[in-house]
Structure formats: C-alpha cells, structure tokens
Amino acid sequence: MATENVSLLFKLYCLTVMTVVAATYIVVLRYTRTVLTEMYFATTAVCITEVLKLILSLGMLTRDVGSLRGTLSTLYEHILRSPKEMLKLSIPSVVYAVQNNMAFVALSNLDAAVYQVTYQLKIPSTALCTVFMLNRSLNKLQWLSVFMLCAGVTLVQWKPMETTKVQVTQNPVLGFVAIAIAVLCSGFAGVYFEKVLKASDTSLWIRNIQMYISGIVITAFGVYLNDGAQVLEKGFFFGYTHWVWIVILLASLGGLYTSVVVKYTDNIMKGFSAAAAIVISTAASVLLFGLQLTLNFVAGTILVCVSIYYYGLPKQNTSTFVQSEVEKHKEPLVNNV
C-alpha cells in the first residue's frame, strides 16, 4: 500500500506541475504579446526554446547513459553517422516550427482563455491523423467526444469577448486562423513523430535531440527570413525581459513533465489536467486582462472539458490519445503546455 500511495502522490505531483506549467505558459505568453511596451521577436524566442530543449534532452540522455563519454559515443552514432535519420526528423521540425510561431500570432490576437479552449481542437486533428496515417480507429464515444468538442469551441468563438487591459490592437480572425494552422500542425507532427518512434528501438531522447538539432537550424532560418533586418538592427534579444525568459523556460520544461505524465498516468487524469488548465487560464484572464465572460464562453468551455474527459475515458482505446501527448515534447504547452 505504501508503494501505491507514493505512486499516486507522484502521479498527482506530475499532473499538478504539468497543469500549472501549461496554464502559466499561456497566460505569461499572452502578457508578453499584449502588455509589454517593447515587442520582442517571436521567431527568436522559438529558436532559443529549441536550444534549451536540446540542452535539457542532452542532460536526460546523459542521465540515462550514465557518463559523458557514453553520451558522446551515442551522439556520434545517431547524429553524425545517421544523416538519413536526421533528415527524417527534419519533417516534424519544420511543422513544429510553424506551429510554435503560430502560437505567438494566435496569443497576440486571442485571449489566453479563448486560446486554451480553442487549442483543444488538436484532439480531433490528432484523431483524424491517427486514423489516416496509422490505420487506427476510434470508438463511438470518442467520435461523439470529438463532435462535442467542436461544438464547444464553436460556442466559445461565436461571440468575441472583450478584454479591458490589453494595450495592442487585436485581430480575432487572424488569431483563429493562426490557431487553426497550429492545430493542424500539432495533429500531423504528433502522429508522424509517433510513427518514427515506433519504427525503431531508438530512445525518445535521441529522437528528440535529432529533432531539436534540425529545429534549431530551421528556426534560425526563420529568424533570418522573417526578422533578419530588424534583428541585425536591434539585436537578437531585443525586447527580452524576465517575463520572456520565463515563457521560454516554461515552453522547454513543459515537454519533459508531459513525458513523465504520459508514462505514469492515464487518459482520465490527463483529461482532468487539461480541463484544470482551461479553468486556471480563464481565471487568470479575468483577473489580469479584464476578460468579460459570456454565457456562450462558459457553456462552450464546459462542453469542451466534458468532451476531453469522455475522449480519454475508454481504457481499452487509449492509443489514439497517447500520440497527442508525445508531440508535446516538441511544442510549447500551448504545444505543448
């Protein structure tokens, strides 16, 4: 019984941390994009996040291997001597780079609570990609949950809510388009990454490192392409404050905690975590950004939370949900918080 109690406490600890990190990431990112006076370059933040994720993954790999020499040998074998594998992982790297940048665009134009609810569309996106790419199937309850979730998101988006403490001009249509692109990217990249993981015995940390190296190159090119001239003029870290660094840290840590949650908890507990993150984001939006709740939003949010719970309920059919969690190793908890 003691072991079970410790195990339960450990699960609750991981879920609590993941929930708080996910909700905090969304709220703080929203704050940095709408309240701070000097706007930093989102592309540089995405690039730095990839670098930090790589460092953290190297640390986890070293812990598993047991020595620095063993880590270097493993990296030589799987990085320098495996160009085809690196190329294979560059595909989700490109997709994740687009997704992560879209998150910044979306949170520049949508409230954190609206974003958090709408982003749950990643569940049907992931489910559809799983069906078509991995030849899996959903049961009737899961399909019902998908339609219920879509209905909830529709209610949330039906009548835009007002925020009274935001200092920038917002474009809700642009924000919704950005989040739609992010959702599609999340579904495809997550399923693709799962397919690559299960095609060989290569460890998750090695796969992450391969993907993050490609991600750094791709996001650095994105910096040059989108903000190159301004970065040369103002500097790579222009507009960075401690809040921006907190966003980057949360985006990086979120994936590590999610991996533990995927390993040690079930879909019901993860569903509660997602619902709790929505509630926390909503409360924070009301307090920090002056969000004015509407009946549509409240009804839609409840519908989304219920659908998340029912989607993860069947324990015999959890494989379609697991890959949506695996992909969070790569994205902000947005993509992961």
For 51-115, give the secondary structure using H, E and C: HHHHHHHHHHHHHHHCCHHHHHHHHHHHHHCCHHHHHHHHHHHHHHHHHHHHHHHHHHHCCHHHH
Q: Give the separation between CA 247 and CA 244, rounded to whole angstroms.
A: 5
Between 272 and 230, name the one with better pLDDT: 230
- What is the model's pLDDT at position 119? 87
Question: Chain-centre distance of CA 224, in angstroms?
Answer: 24
- Sort 210 into a burial class: Cβ within 10 Å, 0-12 / 13-18 / 19+: buried
Distances (CA, A) of 319 to 15, 147, 194, 242, 275: 19, 19, 11, 39, 20
Q: Give the separation between CA 206 and CA 80, rounded to whole angstroms.
A: 12
Q: What is the DSSP string of 293-332?
A: --HHHHHHHHHHHHHHHHHH--GGG-HHHHHHHHGGGTS-
Residue whose structure tokens are 């301004």: 230
User: Could you report the per-residue pLDDT of 207-217, keeping only the tens digit for each?
Assistant: 889 989 999 99
Give yes or no for residue 335 having a pLDDT over 70: no
Residue 315's pLDDT band, with cuts at 50, 70 and 90, is: very low
- What is the model's pLDDT at position 223? 96
Residue of 336, 324, 330 lying closest to 131 (CA atoms)? 324
Say whether pTM exceeds 0.75. Answer: yes
Residue 49's pLDDT band, with cuts at 50, 70 and 90, is: very high
Q: For 159, which DSSP code?
A: S
Q: For 131, which DSSP code?
A: H
The angle at the Cα of 114, spanning 108 to 118, to the nearest 5 degrees, equals 105
Mean of the per-residue pLDDT values of the chain? 81
Token pair of 76 as six digits: 């030589």
Q: For 120, which DSSP code?
A: G
Under a CB-based contact definition with an 8 Å cutoff, are residues 61 and 209 in contact?
yes
- What is the model's pLDDT at position 7? 66
User: Could you report the per-residue pLDDT of 128-142, keeping only the tens digit for each?
Assistant: 888 888 887 878 888
Q: Please state the rounded mean pLDDT for residues 282-297.
A: 81
